[in-house]
């Protein structure tokens, strides 16, 4: 078997494992072309992770089960009508890159202040052929406002949600990936102008949820 055939087989197997894990988590599987792109993302993530610390989870099954499944579940749960999205503190591109792969109608901006991680994000965007943009800098310095701001595994979640609430446009969303016990902190940090929906479970049997809050327009005087 040639090297190219071995890579193709490995990608096919990784895609099949991802869909099996999605099914086990109660999440709709991805189509084969998208699964192949996730396999390419996995390979790129593992290659770069050997040089820089993108994620503490380094084994293939761990990345698929913990990072990809949660991020795909988040992408599926985001409300319809979102056209622009900011991945706050993107790191390894999670969940922004999976959102771009699963929801191509959304224009994703990946914000990352660390130069080496931002370089990885630019390479991932190029290699995967997605239209996401990379902003190398602190998200709070952005002048743009977004239909949705998503957060996952950020330092100081309370402060991050407060910044995200300012970056969300009127009638826009904040989407925080957290634990069930963390939902109250997220809602409090969002302030009075947000109305929060019931948390969405990201993985069956795991204490991981998506907290979705919508920012009220000024005319509502909330």
Integer angstrom CA distances of residue 117 from 67, 111, 113, 114, 158: 16, 10, 8, 6, 23
Judge whether 192 and 198 are in contact, CB under 8 Å: no
Q: Which pair of structure tokens corresponds to residue 171?
A: 């009638």
Query: In percent, how much of the chain has pLDDT > 70?
Result: 92
Judge whether 94 and 120 are in contact, CB under 8 Å: no
* Mean of per-residue pLDDT scores for the chain: 90
Residue written as token pair 């950020």? 154
Judge whether 47 and 35 are in contact, CB under 8 Å: no
Select, from the ranges 9-18, 44-53, 74-83, 205-214, the one with the highest average predicted confidence (pLDDT). 74-83
Confidence bin at 5 (pLDDT 50/70/90) = very low
Higher pLDDT, 12 or 4: 12
Fold of 3-220: Rossmann fold (3.40.50)
Judge whether 43 and 25 are in contact, CB under 8 Å: no
Q: Flag whether the pTM goes above 0.75.
A: yes
Q: Which residues does 46 contact at the CB level (< 8 Å), separation at least 6?
A: 58, 60, 63
What are the extents of the domains in the chain?
3-220
pLDDT in tens, 28-54: 999 999 999 999 999 999 999 988 988
């Amino acid at each position: 078997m040639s090297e190219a055939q071995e890579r193709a087989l490995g990608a096919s197997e990784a895609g099949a494992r991802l869909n099996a894990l999605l099914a086990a988590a109660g999440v709709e599987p991805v189509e084969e072309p998208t699964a192949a792109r996730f396999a390419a993302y996995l390979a790129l993530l593992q290659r770069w992770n050997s040089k820089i610390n993108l994620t503490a989870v380094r084994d293939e099954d761990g990345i698929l089960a913990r990072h990809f499944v949660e991020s795909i579940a988040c992408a599926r749960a985001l409300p319809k009508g979102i056209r622009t999205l900011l991945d706050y503190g993107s790191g390894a591109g999670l969940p922004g890159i999976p959102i771009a792969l699963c929801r191509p109608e959304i224009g994703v901006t990946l914000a990352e202040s660390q130069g080496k991680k931002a370089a990885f994000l630019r390479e991932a965007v190029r290699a995967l052929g997605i239209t996401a943009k990379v902003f190398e800098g602190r998200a709070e310095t952005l002048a743009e406002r977004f239909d949705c701001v998503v957060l996952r595994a950020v330092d100081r979640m309370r402060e991050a949600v407060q910044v995200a609430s300012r970056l969300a446009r009127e009638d826009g969303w904040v989407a925080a990936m957290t634990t069930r016990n963390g939902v109250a902190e997220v809602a409090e940090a969002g302030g009075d102008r947000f109305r929060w929906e019931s948390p969405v479970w990201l993985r069956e049997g795991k204490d991981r949820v998506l907290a979705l809050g919508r920012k009220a327009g000024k005319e509502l005087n909330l």
